Amino acid sequence: MKTKRSPFKYILEGPTGATTNIHQKDMLYFAGVGYFQLQNHPDIIQASVDALQKYGISSATSRAGIGTTDLLLKVDQKIAEFFNTDDAIYLPSGYLSNIAGIQALKAMGKFDVIFIDEVVHYCNEEAALTAAVPVYTFKSRDSKDLEVQLKTHLKGKQKPLIVSDGMFPVWGWMAPIPEYIAIAEKYNGIIWIDDAHPVGIIGENGRGTYDYFNLKSDRLFMGATLSKAFGAYGGFIPGSEEFIYHVKHGHVIDGSTSPVSAAAGAALKGLQLVTENPQWRDQIRKNAVRLKDGLKAMGLEVENNDFPITSFKIGGAEQMQNIHAELFKRNIYIQYTKYIGAGPEGVLRTVMFSTHNYEQIDHLLSNLKEII
Ligand SMILES: Cc1ncc(COP(=O)(O)O)c(C=O)c1O
């Protein structure tokens, strides 16, 4: 129900894509995280319907109970193949995968203290609290400050867990994970990466942060989501047999209903499509460069990379809200947001899909130019 106090200002009346129906109007849409617009890809919908018909909505019990279908096992296997790991587990959400992953590391006795990036996603903060160990924050993406915090707070032989997003949702910044690995080695620690945004879209094989930096370290652990690039729904954790064993024996897998069948069917197909279509990643990169170059040409300050998330500030909160509203009137949707890491004034945030074309990107740029 939409009440006066509802936070849901805009209501979607169809699937999200380069064009999205908002309030019964087809808008040019540069938001959300459906990077390859797979959420309404016909093959994904068909796979989803087939799974729903075969298995019903869900198994109505947890994966650790009697709720693991052969379909869920296939998704586990497909995730392990995609990330080239010994094993993997598919969970009900990305949010829960961070909680399950950090709790499994705790159960393995891998850490005694947590050091967490100050703008890490909520679910990691909450995961850290469930570990019942001291938690300290460090300045975002600042490995020097991380080391200062370690030196200040680590006692005796305590082992640290460093927690960070791989790519931060508002600015699209990557965390300097190679620097964190060097620090983890020095202090006998480990690293948990929430890789929700980069998986599927970053790295030669779309394996996200690991792939982007070409990382290999047994101090690294990650979890992510299938709800963004892969066009499905649910979280996952790839990893060693030993680590995944502990995730499978944790509270999240034991105490929450297994992922819904329609989402599992979609997940399997989404992983297949992303594997088979590496050109989608190239297209996103090209689109991102087109947009960023155009914004830079207007004198706006944007990050110098080819990642799909591009945020910028123009004046203060009021001016940015007005720009957002004026674009909306012109049937163009970009976000004005104060989401994690945006700061008190907020930012204007755009997201590129592989399905945007240059004409649409240029249309956004020319309208923005007229308004500012
Ligand atoms: C960085 C990050 N981590 C975790 C999540 C949660 O994933 P999910 O939506 O699959 O629960 C999100 C948002 O969706 C996110 O942006």
Q: Which amino acid is at 7?
A: P
Chain center to CA of 139: 20
Determine which residue's CA is closest to atom 2 belonging to ligand 1: 196
> In the β-sheet with 335-337, what is the strand arrangement from edge to edge?
309-312, 347-351, 335-337
pTM of the complete model: 0.96
CA 90 to centroid of ligand 1, rounded, Å: 14
Rounded Cα–Cα distance for residues 28 and 16 (Å) = 10
How large is the C-alpha radius of gyration of the chain?
Answer: 21
- In the chain, where the domains are located: 19-30+279-371, 42-276
Q: Does the C-beta of 93 come closer than 6 Å to ligand 1? A: yes
Chain center to CA of 33: 8
Q: Does the C-beta of 117 come closer than 6 Å to ligand 1? A: no
Determine which residue's CA is closest to atom 15 belonging to ligand 1: 196
Q: 42-276: what fold? A: Aspartate Aminotransferase; domain 2 (3.40.640)
Determine which residue's CA is closest to atom 12 belonging to ligand 1: 196
Residue 1 has a pLDDT of: 60
CA 72 to centroid of ligand 1, rounded, Å: 20
Determine which residue's CA is closest to atom 10 belonging to ligand 1: 94
Are the C-beta atoms of 90 and 135 separated by less than 8 Å?
no
332-333 and 25-29 as β-strands: parallel, antiparallel, unpaired?
A: parallel
Per-residue pLDDT of the chain (372 residues; tens, 9 = 90+): 667 788 888 999 999 999 999 999 999 999 999 999 999 999 999 999 999 999 999 999 999 999 999 999 999 999 999 999 999 999 999 999 999 999 999 999 999 999 999 999 999 999 999 999 999 999 999 999 999 999 999 999 999 999 999 999 999 999 999 999 999 999 999 999 999 999 999 999 999 999 999 999 999 999 999 999 999 999 999 999 999 999 999 999 999 999 999 999 999 999 999 999 999 999 999 999 999 999 999 999 999 999 999 999 999 999 999 999 999 999 999 999 999 999 999 999 999 999 999 999 999 999 999 999
19-30+279-371 placed in CATH 3.10.270.10:
no
Determine which residue's CA is closest to atom 7 belonging to ligand 1: 94
202: nearest Cα among 162, 172, 233, 236: 172
264: nearest Cα among 95, 117, 69, 131: 69
Residue 36 has a pLDDT of: 98
Residue 196 corresponds to which tokens in the numbers above? Answer: 């929700």
Rounded Cα–Cα distance for residues 343 and 326 (Å) = 22
Q: Does the C-beta of 196 come closer than 6 Å to ligand 1? A: yes
Q: Matching CATH topology for 19-30+279-371 and 42-276?
A: no
CA 152 to centroid of ligand 1, rounded, Å: 31
Residue 244 has a pLDDT of: 98
